[in-house]
Structure 1
Amino acid sequence: MADEPEYEALPPNAGMTVNMLAGALAGISEHAVMFPIDSIKTRMQVFSTSPVAVYSGVGNAFTRISSTEGVRALWRGVSSVVVGAGPAHAVHFGTLEAVKELAGGNEAGNQWLAHSLAGASATIASDALMNPFDVIKQRMQLHKSEFRSGLKCATTVYRTEGLSAFYVSYPTTLAISIPFNAIQYTVYEQVKRFMNPRNEYSPVSHITAGAIAGAVAAAVTTPLDVAKTILQTRGTSHEADIRSANGMMDALRIIWRRDGIKGFARGLTPRVMSTMPSTALCWLSYEFFKAAIRSDTL
């Protein structure tokens, strides 16, 4: 039987198809596993006038949602993420590897600038595809959401609010995602190289580097994530200032006016809790699928 190809002997860029397929599989794995925590984060970030929908923490939210709405409520909207995450992550990782190669990120040494450029470029491309699916997901995650189908949600939002509802948060999403992915990818590459200087297939280094990178990036970008949630769920609000918010600055002013500085940390704990394992799983899955697909094609 032929020997298995060594991970470190594989070419650093095995082609766009390999990177995109690995990215799609990794993205679906990442979002599906941690979806209930993401649902809690969304609810904690929304300004609600109903005491029933105000939660003091992750444990409190999980207990109350499970007891009053059932555990299935925490998974509402996951279909939208699964449908969107595959193509979006395929585009993300395909762009990531292509730009990294073009910018010299696969060369020896500390190529942090190339890694940051690759992460930012990948974000711009993938978020353009993913943003409408994210809007649908968050509308379905809300307390007493009327939607049980992603298609029904999409058609209703389009009919009542127009196409702009799916992209009103896109500039804010980019304002989050560009630094998030630049920070995440840079931290990931640096931690991975420190733990795994030979660039071997090492699940421990991939999962550890991914978790650290995700936690740092999530914490730094949480204030903008709160603003994004307000914009993406504005059509469900009964309050005039939220319904009329037209961009990131409007959302930031609403947060400051209603909750002060602490408002920018709404959902910080579940955001970090969901991002750490999901990012770790994403990078672990990506490195695994990339190595496995390469092995099959050699």
Structure 2
Amino acid sequence: MEKDDYDYDSLPYEWPVRTHMLAGAAAGILEHSVMYPVDCVKTRMQSIEMVRYRGIIHAMSTIQQKEGFRRLFRGMGAMVAGAGPAHAMYFAGYEKLKYNFTLYANDGVKNSSLANGVAGGFATILHDMVMNPAEVVKQRMQMYGSRHESILRCIQSTHQTEGIRAFYRSFPTQLIMNVPFQAVHFVIYEATQERFNPDRVYNPVTHVASGAMAGACAAFITNPLDVCRTLLNTQELSDRDLRVKGLRQAALVIYRTDGLSTFFRGVTARVLYQMPSTAISWSVYELFKYLLRPAIESKRELYVTNQQRNTPPVCSSPSIPEPVISSTVSCKNTAP
């Protein structure tokens, strides 16, 4: 089998967008579902009103003993509902933009860190437009002592008491956090793939390792912004002594709580959450690309074959001496 048969990663830009969207949706749902308990712990550890936990294991055991095992999965439905469409737009946007930026900005070189970073930043905007409301509901359900009985009740209560803006209060902060996060994430992932998997064959080990490394680096760098986002998402109208309206106010409140160290609360939980999350996300996404390629290629070949069959033969017009009296010129190359 030729090398091109294995080079599944070079998805041509004319492939249907639904191919990337399907693979991305599957990756996003699986990623967030598997790692949801760790995400719950991260949210609580980042909160400035948190119950004091000594670490991730202590937090999980405490929640399970005092609130029940199901508490670790509270609000998961909101995350799954948002993760599917958000990651579908995320990966589809990234693949399309990466191709175009690489082609036009880097003279078609296969891998460009600049193109990967810019494409990742733009893809993040598409992702966060869908994901931000789901994040608000999810984090409010995860908080200790949450008064919301269900996801639907949380949505209704938030909308009635705070309006639609509550679902996007942290959107600017989330963008400020996620654009550099995803830029670092994609650059490191593509760079490690170029180093350890230069032929871009389907190799689960390199996809998992590259994804984990990219997620860990990006998570650590952007943790201070994630703490600010958690504060903006979880404050509610009943918190009359604490009304934070933007990133600047959030940063000041967090700093006054316990100094600079407050910005790195939950950093271990976040890194340990992001490492397997991004590893799962990339491995599932790359697997779906690998599995879907033969079907798409067969359809493409069939389309090209049909186009060739339906194209009429091109015949050259013979040289006809002047003057031409007949109004009909035959396509056959016969003598006049």
Match of 1:287 in 2: 286
2:86 maps to amino acid: A
Match of 2:212 in 1: 211
Match of 1:73 in 2: 71
How many Å separate the matches in 2 of 1:68 and 1:9?
Answer: 49
Q: Please state how far the C-alpha of 1:113 moved relative to its aligned partner.
A: 0.6
Q: Aligned runs of 1:1-298 on 2, under 5 Å?
A: 6-8=5-7, 11-13=10-12, 14-48=15-49, 53-104=51-102, 107-108=108-109, 110-235=111-236, 238=239, 240=241, 242=242, 244-298=243-297
Q: 1:285 to 1:180 in 2, by over 3 A?
A: same
Match of 2:309 in 1: none
Deviation string 1:181-233 (CA, Å, 9 cap, x unpaired) is 00000000000111101110000110000000000000000000000000000
Deviation string 1:16-60 (CA, Å, 9 cap, x unpaired) is 1111110011000110000000000000111227xxx22121111
Q: Please state how far the C-alpha of 1:238 moved relative to its aligned partner.
A: 3.3
Deviation string 1:90-117 (CA, Å, 9 cap, x unpaired) is 0001110111111016943540110001
Query: Helix, strand or coil for the counterpart of 1:145?
Result: coil
Query: Helix, strand or coil for the counterpart of 1:103?
Result: helix
- Answer whether contact 2:9 2:200 (CA < 8 A) is retained: no
Paired residue total: 291
TM-score for the superposition, normalised by structure 2: 0.83
Q: Please state how far the C-alpha of 1:296 moved relative to its aligned partner.
A: 2.5
Query: Helix, strand or coil for the counterpart of 1:12?
Result: coil
Higher relative contact order (CA 8 A, sep 6+): 1
- Answer whether contact 2:120 2:183 (CA < 8 A) is retained: yes
- Aligned CA RMSD, in angstroms, stands at 1.8
How many Å separate the matches in 2 of 1:235 and 1:199?
Answer: 47
Query: Helix, strand or coil for the counterpart of 1:6?
Result: helix
Q: Please state how far the C-alpha of 1:297 moved relative to its aligned partner.
A: 2.4
Match of 2:329 in 1: none
1:238 maps to amino acid: D
Q: 1:40 to 1:239 in 2, by over 3 A?
A: farther
Q: Please state how far the C-alpha of 1:249 moved relative to its aligned partner.
A: 0.6
TM-score for the superposition, normalised by structure 1: 0.93
- Answer whether contact 2:111 2:190 (CA < 8 A) is retained: no
How many Å separate the matches in 1 of 2:164 and 2:204?
Answer: 42
Larger radius of gyration: 2
Q: Please state how far the C-alpha of 1:12 moved relative to its aligned partner.
A: 2.5
- Answer whether contact 2:192 2:210 (CA < 8 A) is retained: yes
1:97 maps to amino acid: E
Query: Helix, strand or coil for the counterpart of 1:108?
Result: coil
Q: Please state how far the C-alpha of 1:149 moved relative to its aligned partner.
A: 2.0
Q: Relative to structure 2, which stretch is displaced further, 231-240 or 174-183?
A: 231-240
How many Å separate the matches in 2 of 1:236 and 1:34?
Answer: 29
- Answer whether contact 2:9 2:201 (CA < 8 A) is retained: no
1:29 maps to amino acid: L
Q: 1:116 to 1:147 in 2, by over 3 A?
A: same
Structure whose residues are more often helix by fraction: 1
- Answer whether contact 2:102 2:111 (CA < 8 A) is retained: no
Q: Please state how far the C-alpha of 1:295 moved relative to its aligned partner.
A: 2.1
